[in-house]
Amino acid sequence: MIWQSDEDRAWAVEEACRNARPSPLEIGLGGWILRASGGPTRRTNSLNPLRGWRDDPARIIAEAESLYRSLGRPLIVRVPDLVPEMGAVLDGLGYRSEGEACTLFAALPPDDRAVPDDVILTDAPDAAWLEAHAACEGVVSEAALRAYRDSLACLILPRMFARRIEADRTVAVAYGVLHRGILVFESVATHPAHRRAGHARSLIATLMAWARQEGATGACLQVIAGNAPARALYGGLGFSRNLYDYRYRRRD
C-alpha cells in the first residue's frame, strides 16, 4: 500500500485497527461511529471519529449522550490526535482525559520463515486459544468474556490466532488481522508466570512472517502510552514510528 501523505497512512491505520476489533453493535452518527459492544472495553464502547466531514461537535456529543443514556451507559469519546478540534469542545463540556495510548507502525520486511514448532496457528479462536487468553489476562468478569468473544465472532477479515506452547502449556497468545495490506496486532498477552521470556516476541515475529507471505507491507498496534516494557518490546521488533496518540474523554 502506498500512501500519499502521513495523514493518509494514519487514517488507514485507524480504520484497520477499528476493523480488527469490531463491535457487534455500532451506528454511524454524523461522521462518527458510535460503538456499544457491552463489557468494559472502551474501544468498542465509545464514540470514534471517521475521516472527512463531521457534523457540529456539540450536536454530535449531545446526540451520543442521549443514545448511550438509553443503553444505561455514560458516553466515552475516543479522541485521536487526528481530530484536534475536539479537545476544546470536550474541555468546555467537562470531559476529562484518561487512558492515553499510542499507535505504532512498522514496515514488514520479506520473511519466509517457517512456523516454529512451539507456536500453534489457527484461523479462528478455538477453545484452547480462548481459555489461554483468559488465563493470560487474569480475572475478568463473565460480561467481559462474553463481550470479547462476541467481538471476535464479528471478524470477517483475514486473521490468524497464535499461541505459544511450553511444556504442554500455552504461555502466550496473540492474534493478527489483515486489512488492505496492513497487519493489526491484537490481544498480545503472556501468562503472568512466564513473562519476560520472549514468548510474545516469538508470536509477533511469526504473525509478521505470515502477514508478509499474505502480501502485507506494514504492521501496526496500539499500546498504552505509559507501558514502557511493551513499547520496548515492540521497538525491538521495528515498531519505531508513532503515527498518532489517542485518549478517551469521559464526563465526571
Q: Is 128 helix (H, G, I), strand (E, B) or coil?
A: helix
Query: Do 227 and 190 contact (CB within 8 A), yes or no?
Result: no
Q: Please name which of 182, 160, 161, 153 lies closest in space to residue 14, comparing C-alpha atoms.
A: 182
What Å distances lie between residue 17 and 43, 56, 126, 185, 252, CA to CA? 10, 25, 22, 8, 28
Residue in this structure with the C-alpha cell 485521536, named with its chain if needed: 80
pLDDT of residue 1: 65
CATH architecture assigned to 106-245: 3-Layer(aba) Sandwich (3.40)
Over residues 202-218, the pLDDT tens digits come to 999 999 999 999 999 99
The Cα 39–Cα 188 span in angstroms is 19
Over residues 18-57, the pLDDT tens digits come to 999 999 999 999 999 999 999 999 999 999 999 999 999 9
SS3 sequence, 62-113?
A: HHHHHHHHHCCCCCEEEEECCCCCHHHHHHHCCEEEEEEEEEEEEECCCCCC
Question: In the 8-state DSSP scheme, what is residue 119?
Answer: E
Question: What residues does CATH 3.40.630.30 cover in the chain?
Answer: 106-245
